[in-house]
Structure 1
């Protein structure tokens, strides 16, 4: 697929997806949704890919929906926003959450509206010191979609989630780290290098074990403790037969670096 709204490359086990509408702060149009979907499908189908890095071009990560792509004027007939969520945003969030590999988000600038919640759907979020997060939906009479109402209270608690959702105030990357909304805030000039160093680490790590870890952590929100213990047992049983577990044990005993295949 020829991409016009994103950049996408796969190299050395790393899939790098860059939202590329910098003049519009990488806000989403229907065309960009389709390109992102194509890239994520390609990453999932390529057996060489063991980690995905998501970032934005220019001075912002993503400003959410491009309102000009579904413009509605006062007094005009409304648009079915539920259709937009069901066709585009919900599948995107579900894909990021269920990709069988770590997903790193490098937030290089403002992440607003759906842009903020797309970042929060990733497994590990690094943000430049100058970056910020804004749940801007309330300014338009909307709710935080793209998983915002699910991720926010789980990450930072009900009180802070409610304040961000109802006030729409800008949250700095530094405070986002302090609150536990993201993994780490880093100097602007270090963001991309730090994200790629992390990706390089994951590209040679035991990918199946990491995918199971991701799945187990997500399941824990809905499971009782006995249910979670059962799930852990099932996963450990399957992973115990994997090449990577045998290789990890052998490398530990032989005091050498492990050579994981990601299987």
Structure 2
């Protein structure tokens, strides 16, 4: 598929999806949402890790308000149900790890699309902004789900109510993201992280995603049962056998992703 608002490059088992509307700070319009959803779904079948990043100065400035249709009477519920929900689900349900490489400001839905990813690596000059209340809305694109689970209720509530910028360094300190990286090291760092995941035990990574995310709503017994089933599946993978053999032979494992 040829994309108009994003680029997709797949090499060395790594799919890099780049939001490509730099003149709009990569604001999300309907076409971009559809293309992102399609690209994430396809990349999960063709690569062993996916990276979402942005072109230009921003990661994503959120919803393109000029693309909201009838601004006096917008159908935001439909937009969320038909366009944002499939995108969030594509990221969360991807069988391979998804990294958000946040190269600049991530605001509104752009922030929450990043936070829906499995790992968020941000350049130190970036920030996250739950801008919704500034225009009379509440956080969406799973923001009210991911934020409390990453930073706790008080920080999540303050971020939503006050709509203040959260620096990448603070996001790192709060546990909102995996790491904030000096700007000069950013590209090298996320590429190294992606390369590590692309060459790792893909079946195990998929089961890790499934188990960690399920723990948010499972009780103890449900989680123990899930772990047992997931570990059983991992134990049947070729990568498990290679990992054990490599350990015994005292060498680096050569995982095939199956």
Instruction: Check whether TM > 0.5.
Output: yes
- 5 Å-filtered alignment, 1:218-233, equals 218-233=213-228
Instruction: Provide the secondary structure at the position in 2 that maps to 1:62.
Output: coil
The CA distance in 2 between the partners of 1:71 and 1:137, in whole Å, is 18
Is the 2:44–2:50 contact (alpha carbons within 8 Å) kept by the matching residues of 1? Answer: no
Match of 1:253 in 2: 248
**1:99 is the counterpart of 2:94:** yes
Match of 2:115 among 96, 120, 132: 120
Deviation of the 1:52 alpha carbon: 0.3
The CA distance in 1 between the partners of 2:204 and 2:48, in whole Å, is 11
Match of 1:184 in 2: 179
Is the 2:41–2:94 contact (alpha carbons within 8 Å) kept by the matching residues of 1? Answer: no
Is the 2:28–2:63 contact (alpha carbons within 8 Å) kept by the matching residues of 1? Answer: yes
Match of 2:167 in 1: 172
The CA distance in 2 between the partners of 1:217 and 1:180, in whole Å, is 15
Instruction: Provide the secondary structure at the position in 2 that maps to 1:60.
Output: coil
Deviation of the 1:237 alpha carbon: 1.3
Match of 2:4 in 1: 4
Instruction: Give unpaired runs (5+ residues) of structure 2.
Output: none
Match of 2:209 among 200, 211, 214: 214
Match of 1:79 in 2: 74
The superposition leaves residues 110-142 of structure 1 with CA deviations (integer Å, 9 ceiling, x where unpaired) of: 100000000000111011111000000001111
Match of 1:29 in 2: 29
The CA distance in 2 between the partners of 1:39 and 1:154, in whole Å, is 27
The CA distance in 2 between the partners of 1:117 and 1:34, in whole Å, is 17
Match of 2:57 in 1: 59
Deviation of the 1:189 alpha carbon: 2.0
Instruction: Give unpaired runs (5+ residues) of structure 1.
Output: none
The superposition leaves residues 146-184 of structure 1 with CA deviations (integer Å, 9 ceiling, x where unpaired) of: 000000110001001000001100000000101000010
TM-score by length of structure 1 reads 0.96
CA RMSD of aligned residues (A): 1.0
The CA distance in 2 between the partners of 1:207 and 1:44, in whole Å, is 11
**1:194 is the counterpart of 2:192:** no
TM-score by length of structure 2 reads 0.98
Deviation of the 1:72 alpha carbon: 4.5
Match of 1:42 in 2: 42
